[in-house]
Structure 1
Amino acid sequence: MTAETMHRPSTREFENLQALQNHVGEELACSDWMTVDQAGIDLFAAATGDHQWIHVDTVRAASGPFRGDIARGLLTLSLIPMLMAQAITIHNY
């Protein structure tokens, strides 16, 4: 077993939405880890036209409230479909 397969979560499968709904409130699964690096943050800024300094100016952000640049919440939200597809499969919805 390699380090990659050792930490790779398995996908949970559900026959339909009702089967998924039966697990409301439970932790179902998790996706693979994903590194959000500055290149990805910069690409997201270019795609959205949001070039706020706290996200894209690493020098200025170093003296900001978080002592470094941060990813946008919207970037995090936009990753949900990809991460969810790694974590669960719903067959008949």
Structure 2
Amino acid sequence: MAQVFNSAAAVLQAVGQDLGTTGWLAITQERIDTFADATGDHQWIHVDPVRAQGGPFGTTIAHGYLTLSLANLFLPQLVQYQGLKMGVNYGCDKVRFPAPVPVGARVRGHGAVVAAEPVKGGGVQATVRITVQIEGSDKPGCVVDTISRLFF
């Protein structure tokens, strides 16, 4: 269940708050291939299961940027804003890929509000850290600090 914020003040007060986790999502070869088609990145470690068996991971792996893009899927499952006049993605900080995400793995997003500050015009800039957890792995597939500008 997503945490709901209805004002800039509520977001500012949420710094340090854990937002919980999403449900699990299976990383299929179809998802990897679709991402490869969308981005033009057809490197064999992503799209050639036969060749990837002999590679460093023993199977195909999700693109790092595919894993990163899941933050966009997970974020609204973790946090929602009511009464928002406008919200924009401002950017990302500290993107890391600590572990590969093999095909067939299940991943989920974990969120935490790591920073918030007022911005000109009465809005707030919120930084939410999304950690893409891999089921059964001690290391995440991606950690990213997403930055949003919100105007209520």
1:25 is displaced (CA, Å) by 3.4
Among all aligned residue pairs of Structure 1 and Structure 2, give the percentage whose two residues are the same amino acid.
44
More strand by share: 2
Find the partner of 1:63 among 51, 54, 65: 54
For 1:5-24, what aligned pairs fall within 5 Å after superposition?
10-24=1-15
Structure-2 separation of matches of 1:36 and 1:13: 28
- Asked if the contact 1:41–1:56 (Cα under 8 Å) also holds between the matched residues in 2, the reply is yes
Find the partner of 1:40 among 16, 28, 31: 31
For 1:78-89, what aligned pairs fall within 5 Å after superposition?
78-89=69-80
Query: Match for residue 66 of structure 2?
Result: 75
- Asked if the contact 1:29–1:88 (Cα under 8 Å) also holds between the matched residues in 2, the reply is no
- Asked if the contact 2:36–2:42 (Cα under 8 Å) also holds between the matched residues in 1, the reply is yes
1:17 is displaced (CA, Å) by 4.0
TM-score by length of 1: 0.79
**1:90–1:36: structure 2 CA closer, same or farther, 3 Å change rule?**
same
- Asked if the contact 1:57–1:69 (Cα under 8 Å) also holds between the matched residues in 2, the reply is yes
1:56 is displaced (CA, Å) by 0.4
| Aligned partner of residue 20 in structure 2, secondary structure | coil
TM-score by length of 2: 0.51
Q: What CA RMSD, in Å, does the superposition of the two structures yield over aligned residues?
A: 1.5
Structure-1 separation of matches of 2:27 and 2:74: 13
Q: 10-19 vs 46-55, which deviates more?
A: 10-19
- Asked if the contact 1:62–1:69 (Cα under 8 Å) also holds between the matched residues in 2, the reply is yes
> Unaligned regions of 5+ residues in structure 2, if any?
85-150
1:45 is displaced (CA, Å) by 0.3
> Unaligned regions of 5+ residues in structure 1, if any?
1-9
Structure-2 separation of matches of 1:64 and 1:73: 17
The one of the two structures with greater contact order (alpha-carbon pairs below 8 A, sep at least 6) is 1
